[in-house]
Amino acid sequence: MNSTTTGDVPLSARIPYARPPGPPPMGNNPFALLNYARIFREDPIGFVGGRFETYGDMYSTTFRGVPLYVTRHPDHIHETLVTRGQSFQKPETGFGARQLRRFLGTGLVTSNGDFWRRQRRMINPAFNRRRIEAFGDTMVEKAAAAMLPWRPGEVREIGHDMMSITLAIVAKTLFDADTSAEQGRVARALDAFRNSSGAATILPDWVPLPSIRRTKQALRDVDEIVYGLIDERRKETDEALAARGDLLSALLLATEDGASPSASGARMTRKELRDELLTLFLAGHETTSQALTWTFYLLSQHPEIEAEVQEELDRVLGGRLATAADDLPLVDRVLQESMRLYPPVTTVARVATEDTEVGGWFIPKGADMICWVYHAHHDPRWWPDPQRFDPQRFRPERLATIPDGAFTPFGAGQRQCIGKHFSLMEARLILATILQRYRLRLVPGHRVERHVAVTMSPRYGMKMAVYPQRH
């Protein structure tokens, strides 16, 4: 039975096409759209929060002629992403989606339908537990190496430090690249992409704007590096590839029937490999780096919790470096609570591919649905005293009382983050390695404000002083 019908009665006949309340439609008036874009860009969380206060858990409007539904309710989020996930897909139009596709092509993040299913089936085995755990030592090594130049008492931009650690880790685990020259080139190209202005997406390529030139150059740089890596590696035998532990080798071996050298079936083309590699590279470092930056900020504001973490590290590790096998439950809870308060990804967007329903409302084919992860994470109905940093919320017995959909930093359902276990382990090991040596304290007077773009980062960076840990 199709999820949108009950017997022969179509959904649209069963549920009257009434829409949740909401603001009036946004037409195509460019001034109104620009004004809306400005207000939204300044503080999307506050803006949408105000609408939820006015209209309730789900509101609807029409944006450029398309019905738009916006929700913060865990049940709606769970329905959209999990139980009715088959009736939705990722957006393919709109500014963000176009910008991503231009750079990433059709990798896991940007693809849909049968193509996405095939790619996900081929890539899943590369993220198996054994391979990911084997990355543990690299993660600790890169964190330890990054701290070498740190001097007691100095002030550092911790956001940059976290970004360079996660970048070094993704470069090593993804394509076994240690050389900072390669890493630096990819990082610069990615920066150019991140900073590429909207103009590069909206205007045709031949418009002679510096921002368009920079974006095109960034694309050329990235292609040169990534195709270079792929072509080099493709010269190796299957046995040599299998002996390597990095993700690129696993992707090169992946076939539609499995990931071992003996498996038959089609392999990914050069272009497919490029798109997937770049997707994993981009998706695989910025989010984890933001999660860590916010975690250090929270710990600096809650020294009593930091002391408990310290106690756990001393007890479990006794001064040695952490490994993938170590059990550090408080560190894990601190990270989860930090991602509740500051989810690196604040919204998950979908488009209905057929008439369906969410929360008892009829959702027509083609409608946009925005799930506000951030607002579900800050709702006092599921998280009492929601602004308080309380890692113990994630003790199993308390977590059992939280509804599905109320905590989704990695999304949920079939499109859940493929790097979830990778990044949880990475964040745990980096946090442990740094906290064993240093306490980080926010510089007095430094302004901390959320900035929501592709990920949620501190608008003015995170200036912190580093002090040796007392042992």
Q: Which one, 98 or 120, has the nearer CB to ligand HEM?
A: 120
Which ranges of 235-302 does DSSP label H, i.e. alpha helix? 238-243, 247-253, 270-283, 286-301
CB nearer to ligand HEM: give 73 or 377.
377
Give me the DSSP letters along 141-204.
HHHHHHHTT--TT-EEEHHHHHHHHHHHHHHHHHH----HHHHHHHHHHHHHHHH--THHHHS-
CA distance 332 to 335: 5
Q: How much is the CA Rg of the chain, to the nearest whole Å?
A: 23
Nearer to ligand HEM, 136 or 409 (CB): 409
Q: Rounded to the nearest whole angstrom, what is the least distance from the CB of residue 423 to ligand HEM in the complex?
A: 4
Determine how many CB atoms are found less than 10 A away from the CB of residue 401.
Answer: 9
Residue 204: phi and psi, rounded to 5, are: -65, 160
Which residue among 283, 341, 358, 363 contacts ligand HEM (CB under 6 A)?
283
Q: How far is the CB of 37 from ligand HEM (least distance, A)?
A: 22
Q: Which is nearer to ligand HEM, 58 or 122 (CB)?
A: 122
DSSP state of 342: S
410 contributes a contact to ligand HEM by CB under 6 A: yes
**Of positions 101, 415, 439, 463, contacts ligand HEM by CB under 6 A:** 415
> Taking the chain, what is the end-to-end CA distance rounded to the nearest angstrom?
63
Helix segments in 323-456, DSSP class H: 329-341, 373-377, 396-399, 420-437
Question: What is the C-alpha to C-alpha distance for residues 337 and 346, in angstroms, rounded to an integer?
Answer: 15
Could you tell me the smallest distance in angstroms from the CB atom of residue 307 to ligand HEM? 25
Binding ligand HEM (rule: CB under 6 A), the pick from 344, 391, 405, 458 is 344
Interface pick for ligand HEM out of 279, 338, 346, 457 (rule CB under 6 A):
279
Looking at beta carbons only, is 310 or 423 nearer to ligand HEM?
423
Query: Between residues 212 and 336, which has the closer beta carbon with respect to ligand HEM?
Result: 336
- Provide the β-strand partners of residue 462: none
Q: Interacting stretch for ligand HEM, rule CB under 6 A, among 32-40, 382-390, 393-401, 414-422?
A: 414-422
Q: Judged by CB, which is closer to ligand HEM: 67, or 344?
A: 344
The answer to whether 409 contacts ligand HEM (rule: CB under 6 A) is yes
383 belongs to the binding site for ligand HEM (CB under 6 A):
no
CB of 176 to ligand HEM, least distance (A): 15
Residue with smaller CB distance to ligand HEM, 51 or 90: 90
Binds ligand HEM (CB under 6 A): choice among 233, 422, 433, 438: 422
Two structure tokens written together for 55: 């209209």
Distance, in Å, from the CA atom of 368 to the CA atom of 353, rounded to the nearest integer, reads: 10
> Does 437 interact with ligand HEM (rule: CB under 6 A)?
no
Q: Taking CB under 6 A as the rule, does residue 284 contact ligand HEM?
A: yes
Interface with ligand HEM by CB under 6 A: which range of 185-193, 226-234, 282-290, 456-464? 282-290
Residue from 109, 168, 250, 367 in contact with ligand HEM (CB under 6 A): 109
- At residue 237, the 3 state secondary structure works out as coil
Pairing of strands 368-372, 66-71: parallel
Please check whether residue 469 is in contact with residue 162, taking contact to mean a CB–CB distance below 8 angstroms. Answer: no
- Which residue from 80, 164, 288, 293 is in contact with ligand HEM, where contact means CB under 6 A? 288
> What DSSP element (H or E) covers 56?
none
Structure-token match 């199993």, residue found: 396
Would you tell me which residues interact with ligand HEM (CB under 6 A)?
90, 108-109, 120, 279-280, 283-284, 287-288, 291, 344-345, 348, 409-411, 415, 417-419, 422-423
